Structure 1
């Protein structure tokens, strides 16, 4: 059980970092952080929105994984399955 908990903590750290990165990469509405990292260039090159839709999908999937890991770790703590 301890190995599963360690794996969940590692997955939580990875998904947290990736989720933060994906959120910062979204197209800004008023020239925020996304313009600082080249968001203005990508919006002029690909105005079709395919990249933005893919970025939305990846962000949603990462968010769902993040929530599931948080709930699973909470259940481990609630039912004293902590090793």
Structure 2
């Protein structure tokens, strides 16, 4: 069970970092963090509506993995320990 807990913690940390990066790359409604840094990274990804849609899908997938890892860690902590 310790191995599963360790794997879930690694997934949680990885998805945390991915979520931070993905949210910062998204196109803002106004002057966001991407505009502060020049928007060079985001401009290539967001050059089309398809790129923005795919970025949203990836963000949702990472968010679901993040939430599931939190729930599983909570269940393991409650019922195993």
Shorter-chain TM range is 0.7 to 0.9
Contact 1:19-1:63 within 8 A present in 2 as well: yes
2:25 match: 25
| Superposed counterparts of 1:3-22, under 5 Å | 3-22=3-22
Count of residue pairs the alignment pairs up: 79
| Superposed counterparts of 1:65-76, under 5 Å | 65-76=65-76
Stretches of structure 1 lacking an aligned partner (at least 5 in a row): none
Structure showing greater Rg: 1
In structure 2, C-alpha distance between the alignment counterparts of 1:37 and 1:49, rounded to whole Å = 22
Structure 1 segments of 4 or more deviating over 2 A? 36-41
2:77 match: 77
In structure 2, C-alpha distance between the alignment counterparts of 1:37 and 1:68, rounded to whole Å = 32
In structure 2, C-alpha distance between the alignment counterparts of 1:4 and 1:75, rounded to whole Å = 12
Report the TM-score, using the length of structure 1 for normalisation.
0.84
